[in-house]
Amino acid sequence: MAYTPDDLALLRTWIRGIPLAALPYSITPAVLARLTALRQQLYLKAVRLQQPLPDLWLKRQPQTSWERHALAGLDKLTQLGDIDPDLQHPIQYWLPPTMTSPLSALGLHTVSDIISTYQNQGASWWQALPGLGRLNARHIEKTLEALFPGRLTHQPLVPVLRHETGLVPLERFLLPAHLDGSQGRNRSPEDPFIPLAHDLAAIEAWLSLYDPASHTHRNYRREAERLLLWAILVQHKALSSLDTTDMAAYRIFLHDPQPATDWVGPSQHKRHPDREPFTGPLSPRSIRHAETLLYGLFDFLVQQYYWRHNPLAALPRLKSPTGQGTLAVHRAFSPVQWDLITAGAERAVQETSGPARRKALRTRFILQLAYTTGLRLSELAQATVGDVVTLERQGQLQTWLSVLGKGQKLRRVPLPPALLTLLTGLYQDLTGRELCRQPPETPLLPDLRDNAKAVTPLAVHKALKGFFTDLAQHCEKEDPEAAARLATASAHWLRHTHGSVAVAQNIPLVMVRDNLGHASISTTSQYVHAEADARYEAFEHFTDTPDRN
């Protein structure tokens, strides 16, 4: 690289120990950063060219001999040409010792080793390298991208899936030829509308109707996987041979999956080698939900002329205790607890800095947006800047959030002015950009490592779960009741809180229903507690001894 006269003057002033204030310009942080960069470049060039005493540039020494060697070295290095970057160069040629030490200790010795690691792992490559850290990783990426343009692209290796007939995820399950369903007893004599060679292909065809990234797809896939595994491994039947009595047996199995050592285990990612299909017995409500999803699968197969009949159709349907789907409306925060939450979130923003503050800012953003809108977890994660719509109605501006909810139903949720002002300020602090000036596809909830990348529903869940857990520990002594509730709270509590607060403020049920995206007002009516409260008060003193005077 070429050195400017200012660069050389800055280096010579540093070598001679003259205060930098003697230079004919202001010494700003940018000037000091430039000095550090120049020293690092000289050190690395000396290493590449195998010049003596490359450590001259790492730290200034008070000896006269050091100054003499440094001035001579500066003149020589600035005049020598440099070598061209090569992927097989040792990393010490291009990166400072503070970064190369942890890399070398982990077996990354050449530039090619680092680039291959990045290509296989993606932007989070550094997380598997203890001692490196995100900031160092970003510096390495910037350096290598400048030296080898276009090389740092994520090219994940296509995993070779080992298929087997066992308790494995659906994509790895190997259907036994005699139980693949091609000769199943329930197969339709008609040619199916969709060419389906076997039961696994039939399940995949059904799942293809839904967005692979959606919560719906994950739920449907989980239930289809569980049933297929049970049919093959327990009943020794093809899915296409199951009848109503088999489905009755499966209902009993869901109550208590046995043997538990095979079927039950802690919650794990689906690619984890120790993952099991269940985390424990299913509740009656969960069994009813599973059968509802499977009923949809079976109905699809009948409609496509793959099956003759739906084996769940003749099985008496399970009923919930109230005769309808119930909401866990008791899992909501009281006004006092909500004040505690907002105060804790604001305190976290004020008392932190750097990455921790960005995390606190986003948590504050999520909390207020979820509480004020009542959005589901997946709806929060998929919201974009373009979904925020401003309309002029009745002489005033109204701001709404367009939401694609359950069943692909589109609705709009109002964004009150106070909420919009708060979110705009938080977004600016979090990203350094103005919310209203972002492209429409920009996520409303950004990933902390990349503002242009959408945060996942799981990340939102973890962020809120971690916040509630920390806050529970913080307030355990002062408010043990609130701490106990916070310790078990999740993102969905904010949705229930929204519904409860809205009803308590006498907002009409139809409006609350439309805000929450409920299919029926009977679901929304579960947030109405007035009648139950009055009945409790009426009977509260029923067993008290009457006053006979």
> How many domains are there within the chain?
4
Average pLDDT value over all residues in the chain: 83
Residue 211 pLDDT exceeds 70: yes
Residue 542 lies in a domain: no
- Verify that 74 and 209 share a domain, yes or no: no
Q: Which of 300-314, 448-462, 474-488, 504-518 has the largest mean confidence?
A: 300-314
Q: What is the spatial distance between Cα 48 and Cα 111, in angstroms, rounded to a whole number?
A: 13
Q: Burial-class residue 67 by CB neighbours within 10 Å (0-12, 13-18, 19+).
A: middle
- Verify that 411 and 522 share a domain, yes or no: yes
As given in the structure block, the two tokens for residue 197 are 């060679």
Q: State which residues form the domain around 126.
A: 91-147
Other Cβ atoms less than 10 A from the Cβ of 49: the count is: 15
Residue 199 pLDDT exceeds 80: yes
Q: What is the spatial distance between Cα 544 and Cα 549, in angstroms, rounded to a whole number?
A: 15
- CATH, residue 485: 1.10.443.10
The fraction of the chain above a pLDDT of 70, given in percent, is 89
- Verify that 513 and 379 share a domain, yes or no: yes
- Verify that 507 and 462 share a domain, yes or no: yes
- Verify that 99 and 54 share a domain, yes or no: no
- Verify that 421 and 500 share a domain, yes or no: yes
Q: Where does the pLDDT of residue 347 fall: very low under 50, low under 70, confident under 90, or very high at 90 and above? A: very high
Residue 122 lies in a domain: yes
- Verify that 178 and 232 share a domain, yes or no: yes
Residue 499 lies in a domain: yes
- Verify that 250 and 347 share a domain, yes or no: no
Contact 104, 52 (CB under 8 A): no
Residue 11 lies in a domain: yes
- Verify that 139 and 181 share a domain, yes or no: no
Report long-range pairs for 418-423 (Cβ below 8 Å, ≥24 apart).
419/368, 419/369, 419/372, 422/368, 423/365, 423/368, 423/369
Other Cβ atoms less than 10 A from the Cβ of 229: the count is: 19
Bridge partners of 402? 412
Residue 158 lies in a domain: no
Least reliable range by pLDDT among 3-7, 8-12, 115-119, 393-397: 393-397
Instruction: Report the pLDDT value the prediction gives residue 223, as an integer from 0 to 100.
Output: 95
Q: What Å distances lie between residue 204 and 19, 180, 294, 297, 300, CA to CA?
A: 72, 14, 13, 10, 12
Instruction: Report the pLDDT value the prediction gives residue 155, as an integer from 0 to 100.
Output: 54
Q: Where does the pLDDT of residue 18 fall: very low under 50, low under 70, confident under 90, or very high at 90 and above? A: confident
Bridge partners of 389? 400
Q: Where does the pLDDT of residue 323 fall: very low under 50, low under 70, confident under 90, or very high at 90 and above? A: very low
First to last CA, the chain: 104
Q: What is the spatial distance between Cα 359 and Cα 363, in angstroms, rounded to a whole number?
A: 6
Residue 269 lies in a domain: yes
The whole-number average pLDDT for the span 309-336 is: 74
Q: What Å distances lie between residue 10 and 13, 73, 220, 371, 456, CA to CA?
A: 5, 15, 65, 55, 48
Other Cβ atoms less than 10 A from the Cβ of 547: the count is: 5
Q: What is the spatial distance between Cα 310 and Cα 347, in angstroms, rounded to a whole number?
A: 56
Residue 154 lies in a domain: no
Q: What is the pTM assigned to this prediction?
A: 0.52
- Verify that 60 and 121 share a domain, yes or no: no
- Verify that 248 and 134 share a domain, yes or no: no
User: pLDDT, tens digit, for every residue of 417-446?
Assistant: 888 888 888 888 888 888 888 888 888 888
Q: Where does the pLDDT of residue 224 fall: very low under 50, low under 70, confident under 90, or very high at 90 and above? A: very high
Residue 328 pLDDT exceeds 60: no
Secondary structure (3-state) at 174:
coil
- Which residues contact residue 302 at a Cβ distance below 8 angstroms, ignoring those fewer than 6 apart? 188, 308, 309, 310
- Verify that 386 and 422 share a domain, yes or no: yes
Contact 15, 71 (CB under 8 A): yes
Instruction: Report the pLDDT value the prediction gives residue 545, as an integer from 0 to 100.
Output: 57
Q: Which of 19-23, 214-218, 297-301, 332-336 has the largest mean confidence?
A: 297-301
Q: Where does the pLDDT of residue 521 fall: very low under 50, low under 70, confident under 90, or very high at 90 and above? A: low
Give φ, ψ of 43 to 5 degrees.
-60, -50
Residue 36 lies in a domain: yes
Instruction: Report the pLDDT value the prediction gives residue 109, as an integer from 0 to 100.
Output: 86
- Using omega within 30 degrees of 0 as the cis cutoff, is the peptide bond preceding 96 cis? no
